[in-house]
């Protein structure tokens, strides 16, 4: 199968938006979603799979933090250290 960051991002966003209404979602599944959201941020930061975009990387890291993935705090700080909102 081919990798599609757009489809993966949509799926991750849908899972995050609906996580509170899905009572059957296990903690393990939520943990995987949090990791995946942070992974999307890493891909946008590095530019290895998708075009490099620090603003999107920061957005995905923030989403991961909001959803309880504490390690994304460091990732967010690294991107902000590079220039924050003034990034291209």
Statement: residue 53 has pLDDT above 60? yes
Q: How far apart are CA 49 and CA 66, in angstroms?
A: 24
Statement: residue 29 has pLDDT above 50? yes
pLDDT confidence band for 31 (50 / 70 / 90):
confident
What pLDDT is attached to residue 1? 35
Structure-block tokens of residue 13: 């966003």
Q: Is 54 exposed, middle or buried (0-12, 13-18, 19+ CB in 10 A)?
A: buried
pTM to 2 decimal places: 0.66
What pLDDT is attached to residue 81? 87
């Amino acid at each position: 199968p081919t990798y599609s960051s757009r489809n993966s991002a949509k799926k991750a966003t849908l899972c995050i938006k609906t996580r509170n209404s899905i009572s059957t979602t296990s903690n393990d599944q939520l943990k995987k979603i949090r990791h995946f959201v942070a992974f999307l941020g890493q891909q946008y930061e590095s530019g290895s799979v998708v075009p490099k975009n620090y603003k999107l990387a920061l957005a995905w890291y923030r989403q991961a933090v909001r959803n309880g993935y504490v390690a994304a705090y460091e990732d967010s700080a690294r991107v902000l250290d590079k220039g924050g909102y003034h990034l291209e």
